Every structure is written in structure tokens, then in C-alpha cells.
């Protein structure tokens, strides 16, 4: 079987309204995750680990943070032809409009596809936490003689009404797309689960070009709502079962088909719990399938004293007599004496002064919390100062970068949001 030439188009323009205020100054793919990553690092790592090295990333909403992150963390050697990760803002090539939807974003950049003329175009989202060997999906695509393949995640049928659901035949050929149906159809070989679309697609190049041109003529702009349902009538459209995807190095204690859409504060918060502990259900440490990110050159973490339990502590952080439990503490955070942090996410360049108590709180970057601050104990008081999610998670909006970090003024070269 001939090895196909693959071009990846990563959709990274998401506004992420439900993640506000974490997205008040950055796009959803640029939101930090875990001890050292951004959300976008997961899709890029999956593509690179899958030997797909020609990648265009389409950005739009508050994209500067994402552009700076990709510039610093994702430089690809230019000596080898066909290997690149290039950020593409709206070019207005088809008119004066910004991207009007996922399909319109790719349509406005068809010139890039014409230029490379690949056999297959992988159109992937940039806002999920998961590992995936895309080459296994490509193999299924070729063996099925598909024109389009949609990555599908098996979910319990009782949860299917929260997803876009795929009705498929036994061989995976898709009959119908159903948007959050009340009675989700079962998978062909599993009456207890349904296929949910993951928003990741493989297109034969000619099929993609012709369908985008036709959709533009009809004023249609979305893959899920417009392009794919129409292609069902005329093309071979298949569902790839993500649960069959095997990643080397995955431990027995992990959730084998782990995939999370971290599109809400609750989902984002819960996904951090999934990477913590001695046997996490998603173990970020995997030598065979690493998640890449920025090459941080700062100091190691320093523990002057205190008590840390089941937590992730990133480089440059100083814990000086604080108690930290079930929390993620990112880079260059300073926790002073008698600070207590429980079930929290503390992002980069934050200083929390002595006597403060935080519970079920996300503190975004560049904040200084004064002595004896209390967050997460009085919902009414918290709501007057911060954003509080429906389940009571408190989010402290990012401070102003460049003015004051935990160790003084933050050097301009590392300023980002």
C-alpha cells in the first residue's frame, strides 16, 4: 500500500466562551494545562508522534499568546522539506470576513492545500486532552476505501445526548449524524454505547476541495452541520473507533481511550485530577509517546519547608512553609508561610502571601494574593470579586504581565498569557 502524503490543518481559533475568564486574554487552545503544557500541545504532539510533520495551524480569536507559544515551543528544523508547523491567521483571501466556521476557515486557506497537493488532509481540533496515533486512523481510512473518516469515541448511551452522535453500519460506514439526540443509537457491536464525534477528520484531498467549494457556493460554513451530512449522500464516509487506537507505553491503570473536551471550567478542573496521583487515569509521563511543550530554562522547584500531598509542582516554584494538597502548581509560583492550598490550580508567576487559604480555586497568571486571603469558602463573597462556576469553582482572572511577578519584575522575554 502506497504511503500517502498527509497535510494536517489544526483548527486553533476557538474562542472558548465557556472557559471564561481563562479565555479573557487568550484563545482556548492556548490555555495552560497541567504543570507545563498548553491545551494545543496535545494535538501537536499527537501529529508529530504520528510522523505527520506538515502542519498548518489556523488561528483567529486572541491569538497572540498561541502564536508566541508555538514560536518558542514548536520550531521544526527547516532543513528537511515538507516539515513545518506554521501559524496562519485569517488572510481575507475570499473577502473581508473572518473565519465564519470550521469549513469556512479551511476554505479560506485552500491555496495552502493547492500548494502542497497532499493525498489526505487531516483536519483536527486543538482543544482536547488525549493521545492518538493518527497513522492507525489513516490505515483504517485506506483499508475502508473511504473518502472521509471521522474519529469516533464510544460513550455510554445514557450520556450520548450530550454529544454529536454517529449512526454507523457494522463496517463503520456512517448512515447519519445526530446532534445531541434524546435516544442515541447504539454502536454496531455494542448495544450499551454510542459513537460520539471527536471533531477530527481525514479527507481525501479532492473530496475536501470539491465539498468546500460547493459549500461556499451554498453559504454553508461548518463541517459537522453542513459538509459531512451532505457527503453521506454521495461519498464513502466512515467512523474510526478511537477505542481501538493503541498507544505504546500506556499503563494498565490508565483509561485506555482517554479523551476529554475541556471546554468548561468544570471539565478543565476535573481533567487536572485525571493526571494526578500515583496511578492517574491519564499519565502524562510516557517515554514512548511524549507530550511536547516549551523548553523551560528556569530553575528547579525549591522546597524550603511545608507539606505537599498528591500535587504537581512545576519548575521555579518556591514552597516556603505552605501546605499543598491535591493541586497543580505551575512555574515560578511563590507560596509563603502558613499558606494552605487544597484542590487548586495555580498558574505561572503567582505569589500567595502568608496566611492565605484557597480551596477549589483556579488562579490565573501574574497574580499577587495578599496575606490572609480567603477564596473558596464563601460563595457570595467570592462572586463579588471573582468568577464562580455553577459547581462552585472559583476563577481568579489573570493579572497584568510585566509589572510584578513572584520574584519581582518578570523579564519581557518570557511574558505571555
Selection from 256, 244, 273 nearest residue 149 by Cα: 244
Measured CA to CA, the distance from residue 246 to residue 287 in angstroms comes to: 15
Confirm if 25 and 65 have CB atoms less than 8 A apart: yes
Q: At 346, phi and psi to the nearest 5? A: -110, 115
Is 180 assigned a ligand-binding role in the annotation?
Answer: yes
Strands 120-125, 193-204: pairing kind: antiparallel
CA 216 to chain centre: 28
Q: Which residue has the cell 509563603?
A: 336
Strand order across the beta sheet in which 328-329 lies: 312-313, 328-329, 345-346, 361-363, 394-396, 387-388
Helices (H), 64-168: 64-73, 102-107, 110-116, 134-143
Q: 108 to each of 92, 114, 272, 352, how far by Cα in Å?
A: 7, 12, 35, 46
Extract the runs of DSSP E, i.e. beta strands, from 215-363. Answer: 237-241, 259-261, 302-309, 312-313, 318-325, 328-329, 334-335, 340-342, 345-346, 351-352, 357-359, 361-363
Q: At 164, phi and psi to the nearest 5? A: -80, 120
Helices (H), 219-351: 228-231, 265-274
- Concatenated DSSP letters for 6-56? EEEEEE-----GGGTTTTSSS-GGGSEETTTEETHHHHHHHHHHTT--EEE
Is 316 assigned a ligand-binding role in the annotation?
Answer: no
Is 197 assigned a ligand-binding role in the annotation?
Answer: yes
Is 254 assigned a ligand-binding role in the annotation?
Answer: no
CB neighbours (10 Å) of residue 69?
23
Selection from 251, 250, 237 nearest residue 201 by Cα: 237
Measured CA to CA, the distance from residue 268 to residue 362 in angstroms comes to: 10
Torsion angle of alpha carbons 23, 27, 29, 33, nearest 10°? -30
Binding residues for alpha-D-glucose 1-phosphate: 164, 179-180, 197
Binding residues: 164, 179-180, 197
Amino acid at each position: 500500500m502506497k504511503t500517502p502524503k498527509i497535510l494536517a490543518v489544526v483548527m486553533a481559533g476557538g474562542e472558548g466562551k465557556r472557559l471564561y475568564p481563562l479565555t479573557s486574554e487568550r484563545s482556548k487552545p492556548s490555555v495552560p494545562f497541567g504543570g507545563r503544557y498548553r491545551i494545543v500541545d496535545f494535538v501537536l504532539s499527537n501529529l508529530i508522534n504520528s510522523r505527520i510533520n506538515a502542519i498548518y495551524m489556523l488561528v483567529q480569536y486572541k491569538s497572540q499568546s498561541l502564536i508566541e507559544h508555538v514560536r518558542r515551543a514548536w520550531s521544526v528544523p527547516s532543513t528537511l522539506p515538507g516539515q513545518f508547523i506554521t501559524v496562519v491567521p485569517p488572510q481575507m483571501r475570499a473577502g473581508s470576513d473572518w473565519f465564519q466556521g470550521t469549513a469556512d476557515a479551511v476554505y479560506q486557506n485552500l491555496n495552502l492545500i493547492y500548494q502542497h497537493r497532499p493525498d489526505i488532509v487531516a483536519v483536527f481540533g486543538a482543544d482536547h486532552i488525549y493521545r492518538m496515533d493518527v497513522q492507525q486512523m489513516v490505515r483504517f481510512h485506506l483499508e475502508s476505501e473511504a473518502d472521509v473518516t471521522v474519529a469516533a469515541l464510544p460513550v455510554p448511551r445514557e450520556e450520548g445526548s450530550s454529544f454529536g452522535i454517529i449512526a454507523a453500519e457494522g463496517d463503520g460506514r456512517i448512515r447519519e449524524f445526530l446532534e445531541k439526540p434524546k435516544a442515541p443509537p447504539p454502536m454496531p457491536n455494542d448495544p450499551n454505547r454510542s459513537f460520539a464525534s471527536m471533531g477530527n477528520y481525514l479527507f481525501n484531498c479532492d473530496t475536501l476541495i470539491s465539498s468546500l467549494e460547493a459549500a461556499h457556493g451554498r453559504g454553508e460554513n461548518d463541517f459537522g452541520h453542513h459538509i459531512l451530512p451532505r457527503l453521506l449522500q454521495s461519498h464513502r464516509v466512515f467512523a474510526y473507533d478511537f477505542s481501538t487506537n493503541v498507544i505504546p507505553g500506556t499503563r494498565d491503570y490508565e483509561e485506555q481511550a482517554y479523551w476529554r473536551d475541556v471546554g468548561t471550567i468544570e471539565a478543565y478542573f476535573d481533567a487536572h485530577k485525571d493526571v494526578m496521583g500515583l496511578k492517574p487515569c491519564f499519565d502524562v509521563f510516557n517515554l514512548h509517546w511524549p507530550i511536547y511543550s516549551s523548553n523551560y530554562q528556569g530553575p528547579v522547584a525549591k522546597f524550603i519547608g511545608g507539606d505537599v500531598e498528591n500535587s504537581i509542582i512545576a519548575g521555579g516554584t518556591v514552597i516556603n512553609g505552605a501546605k499543598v494538597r491535591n493541586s497543580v502548581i505551575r512555574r515560578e509560583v511563590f507560596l509563603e508561610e502558613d499558606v494552605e492550598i487544597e484542590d487548586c490550580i495555580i498558574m505561572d508567576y503567582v505569589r500567595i502571601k502568608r496566611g492565605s487559604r484557597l480551596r477549589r480555586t483556579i488562579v490565573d497568571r501574574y497574580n499577587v494574593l495578599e496575606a490572609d486571603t480567603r477564596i473558596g469558602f464563601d460563595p457570595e463573597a467570592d462572586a463579588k470579586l471573582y468568577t464562580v462556576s455553577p459547581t462552585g469553582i472559583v476563577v481568579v482572572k489573570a493579572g497584568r504581565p510585566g509589572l510584578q511577578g513572584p520574584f519581582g519584575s518578570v523579564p519581557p522575554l518570557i511574558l505571555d498569557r
